[in-house]
Amino acid sequence: MIGTENTAVAEALVKEYRRGAETVRALDGVSFEIRHGEMLAIVGPSGAGKSTLLHLLGCMDTPTSGQLTINGRSTSGLADRELTRMRRELVGFVFQHFALLPTLTVAENVALPGLFARRRAQKHADELLERVGLSHRRTHRPHELSGGEMQRVAIARALINSPKLLLADEPTGNLDTASGESILSLFRALNSEGLTVVLVTHNEALAKATNRIITLSDGKLVSDLRRSE
Amino acid sequence: MLTLAIRNLARRRLRTLLTISGIAAAVAVLASLLAFGQGYRSGLNRELNAMGIQMMLVPIGCPYDAAARVIKGKALDVSLPDASLGAVRADSAVAVAAPVLMAAIPRPTEGRTDLWVGVDRDILPLKSWWKMKQGSTWFTGPDSVILGAEAAATELRQIGDPLYSPETGKTFRVCAILERSGTTDDSQFFIPIATAQNMFDQHGRLTAVAIRLKDPSLLAGAADRLQQTPGAQIVTMGEMMGTFLNLVETVRTLLLAIGAIAAAIGALTVFNTMLASVVERAAELGMLRAVGASRLDLFWLLGLESSLLAICGAMIGVAAAATLGPWIEKAVRTLVPMAPQGALLRLNPTIVGECAAMGLAVGIAAGLFPAWQASRMKPVEAMRAR
Ligand SMILES: Nc1ncnc2c1ncn2[C@@H]1O[C@H](COP(=O)(O)OP(=O)(O)OP(=O)(O)O)[C@@H](O)[C@H]1O
Ligand SMILES: [Mg+2]
């Protein structure tokens, strides 16, 4: 199943959380694959396991059982150090609450992952700010920006290490419609340049704008619809 | 990384400041105390050397206690026979032998105790630091009294004034007043030895005889010979130094204990600050993990923050010890017995270095656990903590 055209392959993914005595099965046998250059949305009711799945795709955690292969490499049973390396090299993460550091300027926030990748990233950061249309804000602090601008900064930060996979957990959840649309068009533009994008969303419009929608319910994959062009 | 650490500290200015002052206080206290302990020791040395006496004849009893009391001016309950003075003076090795009779007169209404000291002219070569005020003369008769600067001030006496002692019913005439010397002499009343013997009903008795030898190398022989004096024993300066140094050691231990408490407080401050910071920034630390920070990266970041706190604290602490030293010295002086004259607080590079290193070590060590906590956090759980 591991083909070069796949960015990620999930096989019978199970993720369990232990909460005191009981075990919560957040993901229950999920299988699918993500091709290079795809843009897909993960939808489903609250508690369905969408964030859990995204965290697994983002190498932030390992599955309880099943196989997950990112860019040809299995994450099961990897040590923390290896997972960190994959996070750093393969994925970019965008959060609902932006998660920018208030003490750093916009440009410094974008370059931040470079610090941990031991690489000078300021120049690339400036290019990315240009790309998301925020060059004029580079020396500002995050609290001086609007929500939409903050999310664009966060997207620029997610791109700094040139990831293979861009993951976003409800990126428009904290934004008004107009800002949400500008974020969406940014994702589409990035995707059209070949970046694989996975969005978790409750937003219908956002989901419909992708070319594939995966629906989760109760930890199970209930539908996987690909739009045929 | 350094910038990040500094910015994080700058975010919580007040807390950072408090933490830094905690360490600074600990370092300052420790540095002052250690410096004081060292100054105390060397000051005592200086004072004992200035007296230029090699040994002392004291009554049989606790010899060190007796010697210490005589040197620092405290009354003694037992005494020597007069004749022992003659024996000492007759010894060929003795250059100066100064008899001393001390008596304390409690003044409960004034809240103090006056110390009266009977001496003769031989005391002068042993009190090389004595300077008399203008118009002073040596004892002119049995009712002459020499006042220490402090004693003259409290009694409001000038040279030539009469001085009435209600407890003994005697009237003296002030023949001399000493300049302030910073020693216990300042508060004492010096009278002719014979007068003292009468006044305190100690006919033919002495508290001690201070002895200077013609040559310090004669010490062993002279000590052996004078040890034979009936009812008396010899305490040499060496033995006395030992006693004093023991005392200093005790004081030092006490100071170190206080210093240890200060250090513990400093450590707890850092610990508390960093731990609070880790809990508070859980989501942020999780984000850093998500964008590629390794455990070690977070450990370094937090460790760097606590190290910065410790470094600033140690530097400020040393600076504070240097500037506040004189005040601390004054405070400690009133608490510690028999503090010698002269500046006690000597901040030397070793002490400063040691204390700064202590502050650093404690601060950094206290930051280790919180840093480890931060590095142990799982990215997903940290993200959920928001
Ligand atoms: N760290 C955890 N510890 C315990 N239970 C967890 C943990 N993370 C998720 N869960 C549980 O797993 C299930 C799926 O959670 P998840 O966050 O993936 O849902 P979601 O689809 O993202 O929901 P939402 O739309 O509300 O964000 C939930 O029942 C949740 O309570
Ligand atoms: Mg979620």
Q: What is the pLDDT of residues B267-277, one digit of tens each?
A: 888 888 888 88
Q: Is the pLDDT of residue B341 over 60?
A: no
Chain B interface includes A60 (CB < 8 A): yes
Residue A213 has pLDDT above 90, yes or no: yes
- Mean per-residue pLDDT, B327-355: 65
Tokens of B384: 């959920």
Return the sign of the alpha-carbon dihedral for residues B47, B52, B55, B59: negative
Q: Which pLDDT does position A220 carry in this prediction?
A: 92
Closest CB to A112: pick one of B8, B10, B291: B291
- Topology of the domain covering A37-63+76-226: Rossmann fold (3.40.50)
- The ipTM assigned to this model is 0.89
Looking at beta carbons, which residues of chain A come within 8 Å of B3? Answer: 108
User: Nearest ligand, CA of residue A52?
Assistant: 1
Mutate to test the interface with A, among B291, B297, B300, B377 (most CBs of A within 10 A): B291
Looking at every residue in chain A, the average pLDDT score rounds to: 89
Q: CA A12, CA B247: separation in Å to the nearest integer?
A: 78
**Closest residue of chain A to B6, computed from CA coordinates:** A103
A44-83 exposure pattern, b = at least 16 Cβ within 10 A, e = fewer: beeebbbbbbbbbbbbbbbbbebbbbbbeeebeeeeeeeb
Could you give the angle at which helices A106-116 and A147-159 cross, rounded to 10 degrees? Answer: 30
Gap from CA of A11 to ligand 1 centroid (Å): 20
Quick check: B40 pLDDT over 80?
no
User: Which residues on A lie below 8 Å from B11 (Cβ)?
Assistant: 102-103
Instruction: Report the separation in Å between the CA atom of A46 and the middle of ligand 1, taken as the mean of its atom positions.
Output: 8
Q: Which residues of B touch A55 (CB under 8 A)?
A: 379-380, 383
Q: Whose CA is nearest to atom 26 of ligand 1?
A: A46
Q: Please name the residues between 8 and 47 in chain A that touch chain B, using a CB distance below 8 Å.
A: none
For residues A42 and A165, what is the distance between their CA atoms, to the nearest angstrom? 15
Distance from CA of B7 to the nearest CA of A (A): 6
User: Can you tell me the distance from the alpha carbon of A222 to that of B38, in angstroms, rounded to the nearest whole number?
Assistant: 80
pLDDT of B72 above 70: no
Alpha helices in B156-236 (DSSP H): 193-199, 219-226
Neighbours of ion ligand 2 (CB under 5 A): A 51
**A78 interfacial to chain B (CB closer than 8 Å):** no
pLDDT digits (tens, 9 = 90+) for A153-206: 999 999 999 999 999 999 988 888 889 889 999 999 999 999 999 999 988 888
Which 8-state DSSP code applies to residue A52? H
* In the predicted structure, residue B332 carries a pLDDT above the cut 80: no
Kindly give the number of the ligand 1 atom that is closest to the alpha carbon of A50. 21
Q: Which residues contact B44 (CB under 8 A, 6 or more apart)?
A: B244, B248, B338, B340
Chain A residues within an 8 Å CB radius of B380? 55, 60-61
Which of B7, B287, B380 has the CB atom closest to A104's CB atom?
Answer: B7
- The closest of B286, B350, B356 to B315, measured between CA atoms, is B356
Best residue among A50, A55, A215, A222 to mutate for probing ligand 1, ranked by most atoms within 8 Å of CB: A50
pLDDT digits (tens, 9 = 90+) for B2-32: 777 777 777 777 888 888 888 888 888 888 7
Phi first, then psi, for residue B122 (nearest 5°) are: -65, -15
For residue A75, list chain B residues with Cβ-Cβ distance below 8 A.
none
Reported confidence tier of residue B265, pLDDT bands at 50, 70, 90: confident
How confident is the model over B117-128, as a mean pLDDT?
87
CB contact, 8 Å: A109 with chain B? no
Asked if A61 and B379 come within 8 Å (Cβ–Cβ), the reply is: yes
- Name the residue of chain A whose CA is nearest to B284's CA: A99
CA distance B137 to B121: 12
- The pLDDT mean for chain B works out to 81
CB under 6 Å to ligand 1: residues?
Answer: A 17, 19, 24, 26, 44, 46-52; B 380-381, 384
Give residue for tokens 């023949």: B175
Give me ligand 1 centre to Cα A26, in Å.
6
Crossing angle between the packed helical segments A147-159 and A122-131, to the nearest 10 degrees: 130
Q: Are B287 and A116 a contacting pair at CB < 8 A?
A: no
